[in-house]
Chain A
Amino acid sequence: LMNAWTETPTKWYPLPLAVGALLLVAIQYRKKVRGSRKEVELDENGMEVIRLKGPWHVHVMGALPLRNLSRLWGYVNEVELPIWFRPHGYRIYANLFGCNLDEIDSPLDSYPSLGAFFYRKLKPGVRPVDGAVLVSPADGTVLHFGTVKGMQVEQVKGITYHLDALLGVERPGSPISHAEHNRDMSIVDDQEFAEINGIEYTLEQLIGTSNGSSGTSTPSLAQPTESDALLAHPPPKKYGERFDASVVEPSRDNLAHDASVAREMGVRPAMERKGSMSARNIRPGNSLFFTVIYLAPGDYHRFHSPTAWVVEKRRHFVGELFSVSPWMAKRLENLFVLNERVALLGRWKYGFFGMVPVGATNVGSIKVNFDQALRTNVRGRLPPPGAYTEAVYSNASPILRGQPLTPAEEMGGFRLG
């Protein structure tokens, strides 16, 4: 071999022009075939079939058991650390990832594990809320923003994904309707009163109640316990079913909060319309916008409400758990559509509003405070991309027919693993 390598003479000679031309033709033909294949990759509903696309290192990552790794990472990080080690360990972590320890409201040794420290709360008042109509829901880096054109959202420059693939599409013939679930509480649309558990309240009374209380504090909402939610509305056995995740008994305190959100939103509760808003039906003179915020490992990992809005439903898409770092976003097409995510859909004063927390390998668990039934990153066979379970929050507020949220109100967060 050594002799052959060193002693074989190299003889260079030009290729005929025809070979180069044939090569170009072959490359063009391959591109054309790929393009035509893309056009026909549709499912029975006419939706594009999402597949792993990208350079070879993306396919190597796709072959890894990312979900199992993510869960293992979660278990490891829930291991309770010795009290003497906690301050040192968390300080090392904070120095490595740039956490500001002055912002946390508990002593370092009170966090039993790295997972608990990662999901830390902040001191009240360390995040002043701007008066703008839209504020940041999380600490992080703005990756991208812009206008949604032709239902295409730009992931990075030149790479787009379809909005329907991100948020899901309405499925007719859902087994449980809003009307069936709301039989014990209803809103009379054309008259300004609401009937709750047999008692009629005028909306003036409800809003008046709110005016009489402290306008700056946010009353805490009664949350359903996990067992209540599961008993009242067992989770669906298969993908595509709908169930109502909210089992909150409405109280006057809740109603005062809801009325406050209604005022902030600039809508009168009695003007609720039937059905829910959709990204496909925007009002004349309006446009659809998007923004993507990336949370790095050291960032505070809870997310808050970006505006005053009402969450009407959530769609949980079980997917893979690729990294969502800017490096990966530039290489893997449809990254946000392939990953496990929770699409929270609703409305604000300008119409449709949607917020989608997207998980990743290290933070695969998405928690939503007002939805105790939601479980993400669970063991099991992966459903096809695009399949989701849907929960509606119509019982959360009889006035607003959804879960009302005020600007910067904590909504949930990402947990390790």
Chain B
Amino acid sequence: STVVLVFEAPADFEFSVHAGQKVKVGHRLGD
């Protein structure tokens, strides 16, 4: 299963993860 997020954010929004990284619920994705 997969969860896809699509969202609008200010152009300077930055992801703080990298492809292949394991994450858990509540883990920071971006800011």
Contacts and interface: CB of A to CB of B under 8 A. Distances in A.
A233 to B, nearest CB: 27
Contact of B5 (A132, A354, A359, A407): A354
A9 to B, nearest CB: 54
Interface in B1-31: 1-11, 13, 15-31
A357 interface: yes
Given A129-B26, A138-B25, A359 B4 contact: no
Contacts of A360: 1-2
Interface string A133-158: 11111111111110010000100000
A400 B14 CA distance: 28
Contact of A324 (B2, B10, B21, B25): B2
Contacts of B4: 153, 166, 290-293, 336, 355-356, 358
Interface string A333-359: 000100000000000101111111111
B6 A148 contact: yes
A163 interface: yes
A285 interface: yes
Contacts of A277: 8
A350 B6 contact: no
B31 to A, nearest CB: 4
Contacts of B1: 294-295, 301, 324, 357-360, 363, 414
A287 interface: yes
Interface in A244-286: 277, 279, 282-283, 285-286
A360 B3 CA distance: 11
Q: Which among B2, B13, B25, B30 has the greatest number of chain A C-beta atoms within 10 A?
A: B2
Nearest to A128: B26
Nearest to A155: B4
A160 to B, nearest CB: 13
B21 A141 contact: yes
A304 B6 CA distance: 15
A279 B11 contact: no
Contact of A135 (B3, B18, B29): B29
A235 interface: no
Nearest to A353: B7
Contacts of B5: 134, 137, 289-293, 306, 353-356
Contacts of A139: 23-25
B7 A352 contact: yes
A185 interface: no
B24 to A, nearest CB: 5
A133 B10 CA distance: 12
Contact of B8 (A128, A287, A414): A287
Given A283-B8, A356-B4, A291 B20 contact: no
B24 A350 contact: no
A354 B23 contact: no
Nearest to A302: B25
B16 A295 contact: no
Nearest to A347: B8
A288 interface: yes
B8 A279 contact: yes
A139 B25 CA distance: 5
A136 B9 contact: no
B8 A353 contact: yes
A37 interface: no
A357 B26 CA distance: 17
Contacts of A283: 8
A121 to B, nearest CB: 12
Contacts of A317: none
A408 B8 CA distance: 19
A235 B7 CA distance: 29
A295 B26 contact: no
Contacts of B16: 132
Interface of A: 127-130, 132-145, 148, 153, 163, 166-167, 277, 279, 282-283, 285-295, 300-301, 303-304, 306, 324, 336, 348, 350-360, 363, 407-408, 414
Leading 6 A-B pairs by shortest Cβ distance: A351-B8, A129-B26, A130-B28, A132-B28, A136-B23, A356-B4
